[in-house]
Structure 1
């Protein structure tokens, strides 16, 4: 027995050594991860566009080796989720992805993008939701070519996760911007949410028709609590703007209902809702529980509490970034993104997701 244990220990040490020596790594939980969204998850698609919605300059990316186009001091939520899913690298931007690299997924997100095509147009070029779906269709054609035939590609793609998070700009850079857009005069908040969900559903069905089967749909966050919203509509600079948040809740409730409807319609697919709004509200209400000290001001920005503008090129940010919920006027810090991502991947409470979290979605 003693000799057996010695041999077992020797073999275990040898396996560990060989694994380290040859850099053997575990496979990710899913073969690929496709991402659709806006500036909350854009990782460089807007860098080459003629747009005011760009983050390819310092101090953006200060804690991730330098600016990449991410609207954060470091990682976005999808960067963190990619790590949790076991990917060795972050998912590449569509503007940079090529060759076999696309087989691990592509990030199509574009800052200022919305569900409606006109959303964000005052900021310049951006890739709308419909444009992102078209780019995915181009990727599918490449996947078919790489894997050899459509059936093999279909079997491959159905195992991947499709993260979709849009809608914030349809409020911030459309509905609540009456000087540029007429939507708030055309629609009540309930009617507007219905219009967005109808358009959203059409794009999801287009993704489904091109092989997508596992969907994580991220709700709109509590944008009424952002430094930008507080600078515009908060009397004391600390109380979240309810007109923004109430409209977002209407949209999120519609989105959650749509998840149930789509699960009923597509028995071979699985849709789940990620309650980013609820998690963010929890962080704002209980900041110290998460290590935060400042919830109502940006680490980097201009104007009242940094809420008027995003970070200016070369502007020095706050040194204690992990104590801030918001990095700039609109976007969370790396620290806040990490919390949201972890609770999306592995739900902390039943209200975080519906009906399952991303870790469960990966196992299907």
Structure 2
């Protein structure tokens, strides 16, 4: 008994040492899976066109250009602050093999999708399946650090696991017939089902490796992004309903998956975040949130004229907080703060199901 008590004390001291003396977050660690909306540096050193480790990206961020596709924070950064972490959760590429992995890691990769082939025209990226493999490796590190599988399992069961993928499976796959055949191979309903099946398979793998508190982020209105408006909208401001309709089908299936897994995982809990409707609020009533521009990127010319990302050292608009979008696809800091706060603590009953992250952290 004395040996067990002493072992527990040692583990506690180790975790406190790694996390920092003043750290008192709502959860001990936070793991993030996703794409460019939350990537914070995993793509920096891979052969990919989907990179953002240069100015003007990060122009308003305390650490400068880090690989975040934003002028400032991502939604994950905002949620990390609200969870009580002293520092932002680092990219896995930075903490792999380090004791810092016990506080969490961001596995997200720009251009990544649920399907392995998604985003391949942009070069290197880390698909959802590969991100989960990286998580499995991280768990091995956590077990090694804590010294015992049971200790590690108990520790991981208290952590939050955020998953936000699917956007690229539409943007850089289904609605890109030049490179992919999925648009002719599946109806939108069939494609959503195929995506959800693979999504669920990866979630079950994560569950088998200790994950118990899941956050499933729905995808936003891709048909309203500046890139799609520039390509498909006759007036430059009318969202593409064909794309948005497919996005809603996916989101409905994702919400159903939450219900299914909550019945299946007796010792786990999943929640759904309704990002789609949160963005609808910003687009429908931008002035209420301080926005004056909803259909073009702050970094780019006009409606971006085919320019997807900011060019290196490009001068962005001066009134960045008035733009919902930073570049052709990604929200800026101001929008990310709003979405991040509503994701953490729901402002409407429709923001999350069955409850929000704040409640999930307390369970």
Q: Offset at 1:310?
A: 1.2
Q: Offset at 1:308?
A: 3.3
Answer yes or no: is the 8 Å Cα contact 1:77–1:337 preserved in 2: yes
- Partner of 2:53 in structure 1? 56
Separation of aligned partners in 1, 2:182 and 2:230: 23
TM-score (norm 1): 0.92
Select which of 26, 31, 35 maps to 2:28. 31
Deviation digits for residues 317-353 of structure 1, max 9, x if unmatched?
0011000000000000000001001001000001000
Structure 2: stretches of 5+ with no match in the other structure? 1-19
Deviation digits for residues 52-91 of structure 1, max 9, x if unmatched?
0000111000001421000000000000000000000000
What SS class does the counterpart of residue 250 from structure 1 fall into?
Answer: helix
Answer yes or no: is the 8 Å Cα contact 1:227–1:306 preserved in 2: no
Deviation digits for residues 230-260 of structure 1, max 9, x if unmatched?
0011111011111110000000000000100
Separation of aligned partners in 1, 2:307 and 2:90: 31
What SS class does the counterpart of residue 92 from structure 2 fall into?
Answer: coil
Separation of aligned partners in 2, 1:139 and 1:100: 10
What SS class does the counterpart of residue 304 from structure 1 fall into?
Answer: coil
Separation of aligned partners in 2, 1:152 and 1:274: 30
- Partner of 2:108 in structure 1? 109
What SS class does the counterpart of residue 94 from structure 2 fall into?
Answer: coil
Answer yes or no: is the 8 Å Cα contact 2:342–2:351 preserved in 1: yes
Q: Offset at 1:26?
A: 5.2
Answer yes or no: is the 8 Å Cα contact 2:296–2:302 preserved in 1: no
- Partner of 1:82 in structure 2? 80
Say whether residues 1:236 and 2:259 are aligned partners. Answer: no
Q: Offset at 1:301?
A: 2.1
- Partner of 2:15 in structure 1? none
TM-score (norm 2): 0.93
Separation of aligned partners in 2, 1:242 and 1:82: 33
Say whether residues 1:172 and 2:171 are aligned partners. Answer: yes
Separation of aligned partners in 2, 1:361 and 1:288: 32
Instruction: Give 1:303-318 correspondences, 5 Å limit.
Output: 304-305=303-304, 308-318=307-317
Q: Offset at 1:100?
A: 1.9
After superposing on structure 2, the runs of 4+ consecutive aligned residues of structure 1 that deviate more than 3 Å are 23-26, 302-308
Answer yes or no: is the 8 Å Cα contact 1:273–1:354 preserved in 2: yes
Answer yes or no: is the 8 Å Cα contact 1:37–1:113 preserved in 2: yes
- Partner of 1:188 in structure 2? 187
Deviation digits for residues 9-40 of structure 1, max 9, x if unmatched?
xxxxxxxxxxxxxx973500000000000000
Separation of aligned partners in 2, 1:208 and 1:302: 45
Q: How many residues align?
A: 342
Answer yes or no: is the 8 Å Cα contact 2:344–2:357 preserved in 1: yes
Separation of aligned partners in 2, 1:306 and 1:85: 39
Answer yes or no: is the 8 Å Cα contact 1:297–1:306 preserved in 2: no
- Partner of 1:42 in structure 2? 39
Q: Offset at 1:307?
A: 5.2
Instruction: Give 1:297-336 correspondences, 5 Å limit.
Output: 297-302=296-301, 304-305=303-304, 308-336=307-335
Structure 1: stretches of 5+ with no match in the other structure? 1-22
Separation of aligned partners in 2, 1:26 and 1:174: 41
State which drifts further: 232-241 or 36-45: 232-241
